[in-house]
Amino acid sequence: MRSLLVPVATTMVVGLLVVACASAGSPAAIPTSPPSAPPASPSTSLSPTVTPTATASATPGDNAPPTWIETGSMATARYGHTATLLRDGTVLVVGAGEGQTAELYDPTSGRWATTETMVEGRVNHIATLLSDGKVLVAGGSGSLGLPVASAELYDSASGRWTATGPMLETRANHTATLLPDGTVLVVGGAIDPDGEGVLASAEAYDPGAGSWTAIGEASDARSGHAATLLPDGTALVAGGVGRFVSQSDSRALSAERYHPDMPGWTGALMLEARFGHTLTLLPDGNVLVAGGSGGFGGLLASAELFDPGSGFWTATGGTIEAHAGHTATLLADGMVLVVGGYRSDDLLAAAELYDSSIGSWTATANMVTPRHDHTATPLPDGRVLVVGGSDSSGSLLATAELYDPGSGSETLQRDRR
């Protein structure tokens, strides 16, 4: 398996944490046929709809079991990309693959449209939907394989990209969190392709000014960590650090909370060191951390909960499978869907659901394609779009599939440990 660097994934802002390769190869684009319907704008072109090969999807909530169904494939295979749900319900996927390409997925038709190319190609970057509906993309590894500081904005109204102020530092595998005041908090990341040089610095993007401001450094340098916004407006960052972690590494064990009003940081230790894990804000305000790589590369099936009120972590039920390089998505019914990733040298198609009311996991339908380092995006109709990633051979994937939660689940369950 290729060496991995982990990009961030959060459910509140940009979707889910994704592990990414520091320098992915460029796969050949999948040929497309002329569209059968007019493109969404003069700068877009449509890829064909793929006929589903899985069991037909059920309408959410119609007493049907959960299921996966293949949907249209992207024009470009991607890994270390980002997927952002836009206000009109389409999903913007950018990064990795071939150069500076960007694509839009339309859930109503199951079709992809290529949009204007980015100002700069990148991988292991961040993408954040701003309050005005634009998407901020910043950092990542550029065309030379080195982390960059550049940033740009996507305007869905025009389908165009424009450069904005660069970050104060080059960084890749960092996190970004949209704060209540509309600014974007960026934390940590790596400053070299191998992920050895790791940052403790943090900075904030002001959309009005189009510029970045340095804020107080976190207590620990970290890369491949995860972050999410908490209900009180603070931001939680946790775990990460580099290619390998150990239980004695305080950076992989630590979690910190940024308080915009102070401003400043407060911290606490997780129960286990983690890298390649996910953070998910639950409806009750607690945060679920699941899976990842633990001490010296061992994969974790454990999960724990962070209580923002007390600032403490407590163990909860472990996942049925050990996952790293997976995604975690909050569903409309409050359940958390964990999908795919790797386990030792095997890739997983497995998917499972966490029920916070009882603190346990239940197996659900498997994906059509085993994959890791993909993205998972919750759609307005309750389905989840899973895109790209890598397969067992290390090849990048252009395929996409949809999870329809239906209203049922399998009976496999692991009780709270």
pLDDT tens digits, 316-337: 999 999 999 999 999 999 999 9
pLDDT greater than 60 at residue 18: no
Question: Is the distance from CB of 247 to CB of 256 less than 8 angstroms?
Answer: no
Summarize the confidence of residues 241-259 as an average pLDDT: 78
* Cα maximum dimension of the chain: 58
Q: Is the pLDDT of residue 83 over 70?
A: yes
Encode pLDDT of 125-159 as tens digits: 999 999 999 999 999 999 888 999 999 999 999 99
What helix, strand, coil percent values describe the chain, rounded to 5? 0, 35, 60
- Among 127, 108, 29, 106, residue whose Cα is nearest residue 375: 127
Given this model, what pLDDT does residue 294 score? 85
pLDDT confidence tier of residue 192, bands split at 50, 70 and 90? confident
Q: Are strands 336-339 and 327-330 parallel, antiparallel or unpaired?
A: antiparallel
Which pLDDT value is given to residue 141?
A: 94
DSSP one-letter code for 251: H
Q: What is the mean pLDDT of residues 26-39?
A: 30
189 has pLDDT over 60: yes
CA atoms within 13 A on the CB side of 349: 11
pLDDT (average), residues 77-106:
94
Alpha-carbon distances of 290 from 177, 353, 414, rounded to whole Å:
19, 12, 14
Distance (Å, whole) CA 271 – CA 300? 12
pLDDT for the residue 296: 72
Rounded Cα–Cα distance for residues 217 and 11 (Å): 24
- The number of residues making up the chain comes to 417
Beta strands 211-215; 202-206: pairing state = antiparallel
Mean pLDDT of 1-21: 33
pLDDT of residue 242: 61
Q: What percent of the chain has pLDDT over 90?
A: 70
Chain position carrying tokens 């974007």:
184
Closest C-alpha to 382, from 328, 338, 333, 340 = 333
Alpha-carbon distances of 191 from 140, 212, 221, 259, rounded to whole Å: 9, 18, 11, 25
pLDDT at residue number 50: 36
